[in-house]
Amino acid sequence: MIKSINHIGIAVKDLDKSIEIFKNIFNFESVHKEVVEKQKVSVASFEVGEVLIELTSPTDDTSPIAKFIEKKGEGIHHIAFESDDVNSELEGLKSKGISLINDTAQEGAHNMLISFLHPKSTNGVLMEICQKK
């Protein structure tokens, strides 16, 4: 079951420069940074209320984030919804005709399992389903 919005992913070219821009806007104190090798990204995230803002930059030119930035530029990349059971959620969505990018959960940032829904099934919005491990 979908419980809440977990985070909003924003694709950026320069992670450190973007952290400073967003710090000036939101005045946050703490930033979580990590590299997700399997996704070929560096991530910096901070809280705004109950939602994380996740700045994501490519670590490799073949990263999906690099391709996104090349095609669409920097900006909102995805909205992530938290679930109790991401794989069960995916099965249910697939049975309803929603196209999936990942048929099963993958490892993501923040020690979470993640999977993406294809934007052609969601009015052009890339959606992520995530679950805490």
What is the number of alpha carbons within 13 Å of residue 79 lying toward its C-beta?
9
In this prediction, residue 80 carries a pLDDT of 97
Tens digit of pLDDT for each residue in 64-83?
A: 999 999 999 999 999 999 99
What's this model's pTM, rounded to 2 decimal places?
A: 0.92
Q: Residues near 82 by Cβ (< 8 Å), separated by ≥ 6? A: 2, 3, 4, 5, 6, 130, 131, 132
The C-alpha atoms of residue 94 and residue 108 are separated, in whole angstroms, by 21
In this prediction, residue 29 carries a pLDDT of 87
Class of domain 2-132: alpha beta
In this prediction, residue 1 carries a pLDDT of 86
pLDDT at 4 over 90: yes
Domain boundaries, the chain: 2-132
Provide the Cα torsion 38, 13, 60, 105; round to 10°: 20
pLDDT band at 17 (very low <50, low <70, confident <90, very high): very high
